[in-house]
């Protein structure tokens, strides 16, 4: 059983890489954005950054979604702050994170190209303002989000196979 969060700022490729990981591991994909309440979607659509209070209920729902999948799952979630990651860890002890890291310029460019997403490019900078990089946290794999998604998914699968026998690193 494995539960992993594919995390990072908007535009890092969470959905694409998460779907590839889920397919490769035969696990369900929980697309975190699908669980934002309508009020959060409206705020973001209006260019208003979410607060910790806005995210609290969403993180609770995501933790519930993980617990509802006792055989494991892949969750896509920005998980920008350590407190957010710790809330998810409280739901699933031993939870792993694959951090798709990229520059603000690359994120801005990618988000600007997405026509059908509720998250506007104007909010990318706020994601970097909020981000607390998970350096030194157990159970986190740091990845360059500019690498090819299939290679990233394979790297995550290999890491998970290794940590399943050795414990979190």
Residues 3-45: pLDDT tens digits?
A: 999 999 888 999 999 999 999 999 999 999 899 888 888 887 7
Alpha-carbon distance 65 to 17, whole Å? 19
Write the pLDDT tens digit of every residue in 45-84: 788 888 899 989 999 999 999 999 999 999 999 999 999 9
What are the Cα distances from residue 43, in Å, to 9, 80, 114, 157?
17, 18, 18, 35
Return the domain boundaries, the chain.
Answer: 2-164
pLDDT, one tens digit per residue, over 73-121 is 999 999 999 999 999 999 999 999 999 999 888 887 877 776 665 556 6
pLDDT for res 50: 83
Residue the block writes with tokens 């979607």: 41
Q: Give yes or no for residue 169 having a pLDDT over 50.
A: no
pLDDT tens digits for range 141-150: 999 999 999 9
Chain centroid offset of residue 54 CA? 17
Which DSSP category does 118 fall into? Answer: S
Architecture of domain 2-164 in CATH? 3-Layer(aba) Sandwich (3.40)
């Amino acid at each position: 059983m494995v539960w992993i969060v594919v995390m990072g700022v908007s535009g890092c490729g969470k959905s694409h890489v998460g779907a590839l990981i889920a397919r490769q591991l035969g696990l369900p994909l929980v697309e975190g954005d699908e669980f934002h309440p309508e009020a959060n979607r409206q705020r973001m659509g209006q260019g208003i950054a979410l607060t910790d209070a806005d995210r609290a209920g969403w993180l609770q729902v995501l933790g519930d979604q993980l617990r509802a999948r006792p055989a494991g799952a892949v969750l896509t979630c920005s998980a920008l702050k350590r407190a957010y990651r710790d809330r998810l860890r409280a739901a699933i002890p031993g939870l792993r994170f694959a951090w798709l890291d990229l520059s603000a310029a690359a994120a801005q460019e990618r988000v600007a190209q997405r026509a059908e997403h509720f998250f506007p490019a104007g909010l990318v900078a706020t994601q970097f303002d909020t981000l607390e990089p998970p350096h030194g946290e157990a159970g986190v794999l740091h990845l360059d989000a500019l690498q090819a998604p299939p290679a990233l998914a394979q790297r995550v699968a290999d890491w998970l196979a290794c940590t399943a026998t050795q414990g979190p690193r």
